[in-house]
Structure 1
Amino acid sequence: MSDRRAAVARAVVGRRRELDLVLAAVTAGRDVMLEGPPGVSKSTMLRAITALWGVPFVLVEGNAELTPARLVGHHNPARVLREDYSSDNFVAGPLVSAMQDGGFLYIEELNRAPEDTLNVLLAAMAERELTVPRVGTVTARPTFRVLASMNPFDDVGTARISDSVYDRWCRLVVGYQDETEEAQIVRARTGVDDDGLVADAVALTRATRGHPDLRRGASVRGAIDLTAIAVELRALGSHDGDHPRIVLDAALLALSARIAVDDAFDGTPEEVIIRIWEDRFFSRPGVPRRDRTASTSTTPSS
């Protein structure tokens, strides 16, 4: 087990405890639900484990269009007209494919899937086999697992998960990584070795989480994009190389769509980002704060 963990850990920054728990659960033959905000390495951990095991990773997006037929599969209409229904003209869906190949079926945003689709899924999980009309019984290979993720902070287009659904999974809550690990992720994903820029990008992104004027902050993906954009702005000569102004432009572009203002806040995402930027660059001990009116009176540009 320790060798397996070491092999998986090489593909993931940090997450030692979470990796241990997920690896132990799937090795024990259990299905796992990962609950947490976007960008916390949920799918990365699972992809690393499937790569180690050498089994397929079958990704399905949970949404209202994920019907039982799309999950299980369907008969080819053209062939049905010529040949009638048969197992030969059945096109396997992600659930049946994962069962037949012994793969990991990963359903992203499980709580967006319709209830009747979840019922089909739970039956396959309970019995490790599925009866498909006009095809027969599909029996899962031993390495077949059903994995799922949910974002508990997003209630748009989601449904309450019933106790019977929760009862089928081992549930693991996954939160944001610490600042050091997020900086490592940004460096790894961007190839940027400018510690100052990476630190600023991570700090601005992390400051959006828990901000009093925001109901949703940005994931580490925001810091990754911010860093990459800032590097390109610097290469273009934007703001004559003024680092704080380059970071502001990059932050407005990378973070504004990833945050959501609170309903009680009468302002825009851009205004919140500018305030966070000002606090980062002009509110440090011993550094005079720039006049807010002067710094926000014009739209940042290159």
Structure 2
Amino acid sequence: MNLEQLSGLADAIRGEIGRAVRGQEETVELMLAALFSRGHVLLEGPPGTAKTLLARSFAAALSLRFGRIQFTPDLMPGDVLGANLFDFGTNAFRLVKGPVFTDILLGDEINRAPPKTQAALLQAMSERRATIDGKDRDLGPWFTVVATQNPIEQQGTYPLPEAQLDRFLFKLLVEFPDEATEFDILRRHADRSLGGEAALAEIAPVAGPEEIAAGRACVDAIRLDDSILRYILAIARATRSAAEITHGASTRAADAIAAATRALAALDGRDYALPDDVKRLCGPALRHRIVLGPTAEIEGRSPDDVLANILDQVEAPR
């Protein structure tokens, strides 16, 4: 697969998702970048912003296995991973696989479950394996988590552990659409044959394992110039010395930005990356990985505000 074919494939996926979801073009673009750079995605937004519909539409456009976990406060780790249960018919234990054994996993309202259950996904997201009763079981190369969560200000939620947040390539903020798009959504939903579940049912899978593998190989073939790599590193290191931040970006975070930068360039049909690609990705890739200090929180500054200030201070390559 060449860059032109990859761009065409991405257009086809965008088109299918657009049948059900409107006004989230930037979010879809970054979800595609995550798919082709082997990353997981966390969608955050208030209730009613089509986070779950977006995740389901994304999965529907791919010819891969799909699983879903509805996270609740009483969910246990075994409900996620599965367990070995005794079969009285065969007089032996057999593995009953949990929903994590799939390709695209929708973790719906992931912050509704306590940290113990959230942690069940740590190994799966990092290694694409799950350990059950001491035995490792492979989840396959396509295993990707698309999780949704409501803001932590909402009642009945738990903050995700920092170790798990670091497993997500992007944290994407799903906002309410503009007025014109919102009116279009209402008009489409008024016609039951066009909106919501009806539109989701019309989505056809346009990319399977072979196409995704070829797309990833195309992305992997892109080599970042040393100036781009040094720029990414300078941003990551600046987060560690910023007065407003108590915990800055890890080396894994910098590596994630580099991988996503290659994917973003490839999706745009380029075999080279630009500093603007890095700037575009810093918010989604770092907003959930940095921890603000008390002064920044008292002043009401968000992670995006602090990251924008760092980008202004770090000189971009010419």
Which TM-score band (shorter chain)?
Answer: 0.5 to 0.7
2:177 is matched with 177
Partner Cα distance (2:158, 2:61) in 1: 34
User: What do residues 250-284 of structure 1 show as CA deviations (whole Å, max 9, x unaligned)?
Assistant: xxxxxxxxxxxxxxxxxxxxxxxxxxxxxxxxxxx
Q: Which amino acid aligns with 1:56?
A: R
2:191 is matched with 191
User: What do residues 54-74 of structure 1 show as CA deviations (whole Å, max 9, x unaligned)?
Assistant: 123322111122101111113
Q: Give the total of aligned pairs.
A: 182
User: What do residues 104-149 of structure 1 show as CA deviations (whole Å, max 9, x unaligned)?
Assistant: 1111121121222222201111111112227x42212222101211
Secondary structure of residue in 2 paired with 1:137: strand
Q: Which amino acid aligns with 1:168?
A: R
Partner Cα distance (1:116, 1:15) in 2: 32
Secondary structure of residue in 2 paired with 1:13: coil
Question: Which residue of 85, 88, 96 corresponds with 1:91?
Answer: 96
Structure 1 residue 76: Cα displacement:
4.1
2:154 is matched with 155
Structure 1 residue 37: Cα displacement:
0.8
1:101-120 equivalent positions in 2, closer than 5 A: 103-120=103-120
Structure 1 residue 84: Cα displacement:
4.3
Partner Cα distance (2:32, 2:54) in 1: 9
Question: Which residue of 55, 59, 64 corresponds with 2:68?
Answer: 59
Q: Tell me if structure 2 keeps the 8 A contact 1:105–1:145.
A: yes
Q: Which amino acid aligns with 2:164?
A: V
2:46 is matched with 37
Gaps of at least 5 residues in structure 1 are 193-302
* Cα 1:7/1:85, change in 2 over 3 Å: same
Secondary structure of residue in 1 paired with 2:111: helix
Q: Which amino acid aligns with 2:100?
A: L
Gaps of at least 5 residues in structure 2 are 1-9, 193-318
Give RMSD over aligned pairs.
2.0
Partner Cα distance (2:150, 2:162) in 1: 17
Fraction of identical pairs, as percent: 31
**Structure 1 residue runs of 4 or more that deviate by more than 6 Å after TM superposition:** none
Higher RCO, Cα 8 Å, sep 6+: 2
Q: Which amino acid aligns with 1:67?
A: M
Q: Tell me if structure 2 keeps the 8 A contact 1:11–1:48.
A: yes
Structure 1 residue 155: Cα displacement:
3.3
Secondary structure of residue in 2 paired with 1:59: strand
Partner Cα distance (2:152, 2:26) in 1: 23
Partner Cα distance (1:189, 1:29) in 2: 34
Structure 1 residue 159: Cα displacement:
1.7
Partner Cα distance (2:155, 2:20) in 1: 32
Q: Which amino acid aligns with 2:96?
A: V
Q: Tell me if structure 1 keeps the 8 A contact 2:43–2:174.
A: yes
Structure 1 residue 33: Cα displacement:
0.3
Partner Cα distance (1:24, 1:9) in 2: 17
Structure 1 residue 30: Cα displacement:
0.4
Partner Cα distance (2:191, 2:89) in 1: 55
Q: Tell me if structure 2 keeps the 8 A contact 1:34–1:149.
A: yes
TM-score, normalising length from structure 1? Answer: 0.56
TM-score, normalising length from structure 2? Answer: 0.53
Q: Which amino acid aligns with 2:78?
A: A
Question: Which residue of 63, 77, 83 corresponds with 1:68?
Answer: 77
Partner Cα distance (1:184, 1:154) in 2: 29
Partner Cα distance (2:19, 2:183) in 1: 16
Q: Tell me if structure 2 keeps the 8 A contact 1:9–1:19.
A: no
Q: Which amino acid aligns with 2:47?
A: P
Q: Which amino acid aligns with 1:36?
A: G
1:17 is matched with 26
Question: Which residue of 35, 42, 59 corresponds with 1:26?
Answer: 35
Secondary structure of residue in 1 paired with 2:15: helix
Question: Which residue of 37, 46, 61 corresponds with 2:55?
Answer: 46
